[in-house]
Structure 1
C-alpha cells in the first residue's frame, strides 16, 4: 500500500518518530487509525446518549399531556412544515 501525505503531515509523522514514541512511520499511522476508530465510536455513543435524552423529554411531555394528535397525512405534513419550513412535503 502506498499513501501520499502532504508535506505538513509527513513532517508531523517524522516528528513523532524522532520523538522516540514510535519506531517508524507505520506505527504512527496505525496509532492514528486506532485513535480515529475510537473517536468515531465515542461520537456515536454521544449521539445515542443525546437521542435517548431527547426521547426521554418526549416521553415526559406525552405523560404530561403535552402531545400533539396527528390524525391525517395533512396534519403530519403541517407539523413537519412547522418544524422545518425549508422542506416542502
Structure 2
C-alpha cells in the first residue's frame, strides 16, 4: 500500500451511522476501508465523465469563438413570427 495519510472528515449523522453499521455488520473491516472504496468509486465515475465534460467545454468554446450571438428575445420573436405565419 502506498504511503498513508491520516485525515479527519465530518459527515451528517445518518451517513456516520450507516458507516458504523456497515462495519459492525462485517461488510468491511474498518470505516477507513469503506471511505477508501467510496472514494475509488467516485474517482472512477469522475474519470469516466471527464471526456463528456471536455466535449461540452469544447462546444462552449467553439460557440464563443464563432462570433457574436443573437439576443434570446430576438430569436424567440423570430420563431414566434415564423410559427404565426404558418398558422
* Equivalent pairs, count: 59
1:58 maps to none
**Structure 2 unaligned runs (5+)?**
1-6, 60-65, 74-87
- Runs of 4+ residues deviating >2 angstroms: none
TM-score between both structures, scaled by the size of structure 1: 0.52
Q: 1:8 to 1:48 in 2, by over 3 A?
A: closer
* 2:26 match: secondary structure: coil
What's the C-alpha RMSD, in Å, of the aligned pairs?
2.9
Aligned counterparts of 2:10 and 2:20: Cα–Cα separation in 1:
14
**Structure 1 unaligned runs (5+)?**
56-74
TM-score between both structures, scaled by the size of structure 2: 0.53
